[in-house]
Amino acid sequence: MKQANFESVKRTENSITIINQTRLPLNFEHKQLSDYKEIINSIKRLEVRGAPAIGIAAAYGLAIAVQQKQQCDLEYLNRAAVELKASRPTAVNLSWAIDRMMNKFKSENPGGLDSALEVLWAEAEAIHEEDKKMCEHIGTNGASLINQGDHIITYCNTGILATGGIGTALGIIYTCHKQNKNNKIFVCETRPLLQGARLTAWELSQVGIDVTLIADNTAGALMLKNEISSVIVGADRITKNGDVVNKIGTYSLAVLAEKHNIPFYVAAPSSTFDNQSETGSEIEIEERQPEEITNGFGEQTTPSDIRVFSPAFDITPKELISKYITDRSILPGKR
């Protein structure tokens, strides 16, 4: 059985190396980042993406900010933290990771530059390592819900490229593959930036998983034909009441799954649960640039000057969730 041999984010001495995901699937390119503002730009440009992965990159970014300026006073660190948090506002892992880094810095109260760097690099590495372990536990927990030969729909990219480990929703699929369950995976293309087509289809094919790419609007037809056993997605944030904020189009899949009485599973690490927000209606939803739709991948496909509404995420109400698969346990949904 083939094993994946790539990582979304990797520490390289006093910098990080990422896979430039905007170049996949045709070009596999690494990019080394030694400036925290470069990390911010890479997050904004989706060169590194996925809620856990951008949290990890941002955590390293705070250490790099101190490394590059050789400055560790709290005022400077707070400014860098605010800038990193603002790079993408919706995914909770990013702000969670930065808050954890800042809390660690304040609690340790390092007296000089060397000790400050030691604290920050160590905490970033701890966040990275913990995510790897959480992915493994999510995979094991989720695989217990999947039967031999099940047909599964997944959405966007939730695997190695999106996390510090084997992934969340895709972590379950990788674990089932390792258990020889012979599942058939249907990957939605994920409009408008095609993370499913460009990233998930590429990722799964690297390890020999049976994967079929479908247009986003094909999912309902497959469900109507009784071709689908379950839907498994990730999450960028899960609010206190159980609402799920995830890639735009997740809500539509959840409605279809309910209509056809198909389990709808959400896989996410404990760091994605936001106990400060009561419901999904409180969450700031990032809006992307119109050009990602009007000129997707460099070619104009719409009338000039057309108005565009392009939220990056939508909210799936708790009533549509069958189960939440976490690193700690499987939690019941409201369906």
Instruction: List, by residue number, the catalytic residues.
Output: 236
Residue type, 332: P
Q: Measured between alpha carbons, how far is 151 from 156 in angstroms, rounded to an integer?
A: 17
Crossing angle between the packed helical segments 74-85 and 51-69, to the nearest 10 degrees: 150
Q: Can you read off the two tokens belonging to residue 282?
A: 């409180």
Helices (H), 45-143: 51-69, 74-85, 92-108, 113-143
Q: How far is CA 255 from the centre of its chain?
A: 22
CB within 8 Å of 292: residues ≥ 6 apart: 192, 193, 310
CA–CA gap between residue 233 and residue 169 (Å, rounded): 5
Q: What sign has the CA pseudo-torsion 102, 103, 104, 110?
A: positive
What is the rounded end-to-end Cα distance, in angstroms, of the chain? Answer: 36
User: 188 pairs with which residues across the strands?
Assistant: 214
CA distance 319 to 257: 12
Torsion angle of alpha carbons 39, 90, 163, 250, nearest 10°?
Answer: -140
